[in-house]
Amino acid sequence: MTADPLAQALAAFRGGDLAAALAGSERVLARSPNHAQALALKANAAMQLGDNDALVGALQRLHALRPEDAPVRRNLATALNRRGNRQLEQSAFTAAEASWRAALEVWPQHRDARFNLAAALRRAEQWAQALALYEALDRELADPEVTLRIAECLAMSGRTAAAAERLRSSEYPPQLLNAVAEVANRCGAIEVAAAHIARAATAAERVDAVLSAQLDAVTRRRDSDALIDACFDPARLGEHSPELQVALTRALALPQTMHDATEIEHIRQRFDAGLHTLVATYDAPRLRRCEPRIAQVAWSNFLLAYQNRDDLELQSRFGDWLAMATSVLGRNLPSIADRRRPGRPRLGLVSSHWRTCTVGSYFGSWIEDLARLDVDLHVVHMGPIEDTGTERFATRAPNFHRFGADVDEFIAQTRALDLDLVIYPELGMIQRLFAAAAFGLGRQQWMAWGHPVTSGLPTVSHYLTCGEMEPEGAQRCYREQLLPLPGIGTRYALPPAPTPRTRAELGLPAGRLAVVPQSTFKVLPANDAIYVELLQRDPSLRIAFSGANLTAEDARFRERLRRAAGAELAGRIVFLPELTRERFLETLAACDLMIDTLGWSGGNSALDALRARLPIVTWPGEFMRGRQCATMLRLLGIEGAIAENPERLAALAAERVGDREFAAQFRERASQGLEQLVDDAACGQALRGHVASALGL
């Protein structure tokens, strides 16, 4: 006689074999989808196993059978809320919001789901909707964070007096210190922020709160001078580490998303004035009164390069100041020995990106290329971020060093290697590493184009660049002496080819779809007219961008594009969340055309598009950082993809997005030539030649 499957599953559950209980309940449900006891068993087993997807499925079917069952509704709402939290962690913002809304449809009183939905609306800058939810939560139960968020919503809705009054009505726990500083600065309740900052346990926490408010103010085009003056004595700012970060941020902080070209010029003028003030105020005598730690002046002007201007003069003035400041603040650190230790020349590859990322893909091959020289090669990784890629690089390097994130300790550890030449594959992306380079880690220092703009540092002498990508007369834009490399300048590690996915699987719309696969801060306002013209030319076209993230900068980017396009055209703009590399490639493969960006061209994203066999249109810009994609297409022999001028890019995109012959030719050229483009032995030979000459080999 065959045993009852449900009885077996129940026995497994009572015996603690939850996996067997879950499997048994699913066998029963395969025959009887609405078997209430089997659904309840599945829900209980899934809950204890932590299988939230199975739990949601079981509870949804139970809810359909018993819609008035309060415990089922509460449990389903909790499971849906938990699913939304997990989706948020995966940057699936639209799905997360849908899960929280679904939870509230089942159980409108679910407090956590309402709080999470309110937070999502707040991060998306939907202030009125967020405020309504927070006020409902506040009426039920007083909570300091809810009070704080009500004040924030009021401030961002223009009701600053009401926001300040609300903010003053509560005390806030230490974990909300940074948020209190931000909101207080927005609504002018400076005394609230100052009082809470004064109670912080450490100087680092106090400075971090002020920095948070400063950066928030930069994003929202406000100032934070009143808050700084309330928290610090300007005449003594920097005497206690890490207070100098406040002065640097006030002088040099830049927003990510620009509104238009006029604002870019205004921002650069303000940066110039801030740099003048910084240099004049913090001269060597003043810095000698400050705590001797280089970590205080970790800064790099990363975002300056994304404004599509010649940065040589600004970067050089800052570089001169930073070299002076680090020499004063690093006076207790070990010096570079005048006489080197005997032995082979010692070469260092120093980066904070020896991991799975763009820099690792571009420059990982340099480890093997340079190990072929008669040198003592040291690969140095600046922490704290590591991953499986770090382990792979460590196994390939003759000597691999993991040094910590503290700048001063990192400098001491790296200087102890007694390096004759240090090469930074990227310089300017990580502020701590930039400060270390300003101080100097070896007898000679070079950089490469991982962040393709001059460092402006007097301590960096040469710049390894892609010669093919540089415009005529490029040397005028660099303080360093250019050392050209052929092709794309390196042997690049291509990712696996993407698995074909349908648009439905990827959450993409049907019909013609172009994509601009760049980070939002790389999409300058000068590009907006291209997208508007293209949408006007092709009424069937949609354009996908990054920018779905729930951040203030992404919200500003979305608003800028929608404002430029107008209500009707904006309906055909799609915003994508942050994607894994695998899903990013699959998304590219499912689109019809990539539109390269003016000013900051696709490098890694262009190679990903080529890997996905996605046709591209582009125009080469004034600087190397705007010419990468066009150079790749030219080297591949792809014709008809480069516009005659930037004004023609929209027209070219309109022609190519539906051009099957162009797409076929593009894919054929990419298939035939991409492997050779990214794995050219001449790149390694040229690199070794430059290094051998410098080391006298």
pLDDT tens-digit readout, 453-478: 999 999 999 999 999 999 999 999 99
Domain with CATH 1.25.40.10 in the chain: 125-231
Q: Give the C-alpha distances (Å, rounded to integers) separating 492 from 272, 363, 379, 663, 677.
A: 37, 7, 18, 24, 9
Backbone phi and psi for residue 484, each to the nearest 5 degrees, phi listed first: -75, 145
Asked whether the CA dihedral 393, 395, 399, 402 is positive or negative, the reply is positive
> Is cis: bond before 174, omega within 30 of 0?
no
Distance of CA 333 to the CA centre of its chain: 32
Return left, alpha or beta for 125; rule: phi > 0 is left, psi -120 to 50 is alpha, else beta: left
Residues 592, 663: Cα–Cα separation, whole Å? 9
Residues in Cβ contact with 474 at an 8 Å cutoff, skipping those fewer than 6 apart: 465, 482, 623, 624
The lowest-confidence range among 349-353, 371-375, 545-549 is 545-549
Written as six digits, the tokens of 656 are 């190519």
Residues 431, 437: Cα–Cα separation, whole Å? 10
* Overall average pLDDT of the 126-152 stretch: 95
CB 636 within 8 A of CB 669: yes
Tell me the whole-structure pTM to 2 decimals: 0.91
Looking at the domain 503-678, which fold is it? Rossmann fold (3.40.50)
Written as six digits, the tokens of 347 are 């070469």
**Taking Cα atoms as reference points, which of 238, 234, 275 lies closest to residue 253?**
275
**Arithmetic mean of pLDDT over the chain:** 94
Residues 534, 594: Cα–Cα separation, whole Å? 13
Exposure class string for 628-656: b at 16+ Cβ within 10 A, else e: bbbbbbbbbebebbbbeebeebbbbbbeb
* Overall average pLDDT of the 48-62 stretch: 88
pLDDT at 338 over 80: no
Residues in Cβ contact with 506 at an 8 Å cutoff, skipping those fewer than 6 apart: 583, 586, 587, 590
Residues 491, 510: Cα–Cα separation, whole Å? 36
Domain with CATH 3.40.50.2000 in the chain: 503-678
Q: DSSP states of 481-500 as a string? A: EEEEESTTSS---PPPPPPP
pLDDT at 34 over 90: no
SS3 label, residue 617? strand
Homologous superfamily, domain 125-231: Tetratricopeptide repeat domain (1.25.40.10)
> Is cis: bond before 384, omega within 30 of 0?
yes
Asked whether the CA dihedral 59, 60, 66, 67 is positive or negative, the reply is positive
CB 577 within 8 A of CB 94: yes
* Overall average pLDDT of the 332-352 stretch: 91
pLDDT of residue 388: 94
pLDDT of residue 633: 97
pLDDT of residue 21: 80
* Overall average pLDDT of the 231-246 stretch: 92
pLDDT of residue 660: 94
pLDDT tens profile 602-614? 999 999 999 999 9
Instruction: Please identify which residue in the block is written with the tokens 């230790």.
Output: 341
Residues 168, 182: Cα–Cα separation, whole Å? 14
Q: What is the 3-state secondary structure (H, E, C) of 619-653?
A: CCCCCHHHCHHHHHHHHCCCCCCECCCHHHHHHHH
pLDDT of residue 12: 81
The model's confidence at residue 302, banded by pLDDT at 50, 70 and 90, is very high
DSSP state of 335: P
Q: Give the C-alpha distances (Å, rounded to integers) separating 63 from 28, 42, 274.
A: 18, 14, 61
pLDDT tens profile 165-178? 999 999 999 999 99
pLDDT of residue 3: 65
Residues 447, 443: Cα–Cα separation, whole Å? 14
Written as six digits, the tokens of 229 are 């003056």
Residues 112, 105: Cα–Cα separation, whole Å? 14
The model's confidence at residue 422, banded by pLDDT at 50, 70 and 90, is very high
pLDDT at 575 over 80: yes
SS3 label, residue 288? helix
The model's confidence at residue 383, banded by pLDDT at 50, 70 and 90, is very high
* Overall average pLDDT of the 282-308 stretch: 96
Exposure class string for 484-522: b at 16+ Cβ within 10 A, else e: bbebbbbbbbebeebeeeeeeeeebeeebbbbbbbbbbb
Residues 575, 560: Cα–Cα separation, whole Å? 13
Residues 543, 263: Cα–Cα separation, whole Å? 25
% of the chain at pLDDT higher than 90: 84
Give the Cβ contact number of residue 342 at 10 Å.
5
Residues 208, 188: Cα–Cα separation, whole Å? 19
- Helix axis angle, 52-65 to 36-49, nearest 10°: 150
Residues in Cβ contact with 508 at an 8 Å cutoff, skipping those fewer than 6 apart: 544, 574, 587, 590, 591
In words, the CATH class of domain 260-492+682-697 is: alpha beta
Domain with CATH 3.40.50.11380 in the chain: 260-492+682-697
pLDDT of residue 485: 97
Element (H, E) at 276: helix 261-281
